Structure 1
Amino acid sequence: MESHIMMLNQQTDEPTKQMLQNLVDRKRKFDKFKQKCFFYQMFTFITLMGFMAYLYRFVVQPSGGNIGYVFSSFVNETLHTFLVLTIVGGYATSLYFKKKEEKAEKEYHNLRCEIIKKSPDLWPQPFHWQKRNEVFKVMKKEFDINLFHESK
């Protein structure tokens, strides 16, 4: 369990701490998939731009615009096939991580909303309501998790 969550002894009970820890874990999972998706999107984009520049410079320009020569040069070179497969693989991988990211975001957001909706039960008013505010501030400051509002 996170040290910041463990230090909330006076503000909350153990089951609530476990819920907060699960929320932090889901946030990290979401951030991990978001980072991987962005990496593969950038990899695919940079590889595609580089391949297009290479094709223009070394295949299209020397051919003088002859479409038959361009097509023949493109098909006959195994490097071109490898690069196209690399670009397609990068794109497919980015789509895979995008789906994983969306699923992790949905799980994270649902748990976050559940904690927000159950907060009156977890911290009964009026005495514990101030402690709830302290817990929410710790979650926002340490983990960048907003528990004050349900909107993303």
Structure 2
Amino acid sequence: MPRVEHPKDLEAVEDPCQLLRPDQLAQLGVVGEPIREQSPWGEALCVWGARTDGVRVNLAPVTTLNIGLRSVLRSVSKTAPDDNVDGYPVVVSQPLTYSCGIYVSTTPEDTFSLNVDRGDSDRVDQQDPCALAKQVASMVLSNIPDKN
């Protein structure tokens, strides 16, 4: 399993819609109220920008499965993370032209799934959806408390 030097306490965040602050959403150009849904594994997830043509962010914590990045690595036929964001291991699961899905490990057992769709954004800094996803992941990580 990929090591996590400074674990984050993702389980301490009850509402995933708190994982991006209003100022961060404004920086991304995301408008509108978030939509709360349920992930396939039964945890809350949050979607920002669902009712716009711009950037859309779908964020789902994965804290109940206790498998970290193992199953993600298997499902995408990789043996190690692709990269890291602020020192946290990242696996890219769905790199597409307009969207990118990544998983970020916050502890050896916990991750969050993040899918970013750039929509019709014409901002130069938003043309690479995987770079944009990693930028959003960095924002999310800054809002998760350290694990004691």
Q: TM-score, normalised by structure 2?
A: 0.28
Q: Which has the larger radius of gyration?
A: 1
1 or 2, which has the higher helix percentage? Answer: 1
Query: Which protein has greater RCO, CA pairs closer than 8 Å, 6+ apart?
Result: 1
Q: TM-score, normalised by structure 1?
A: 0.27
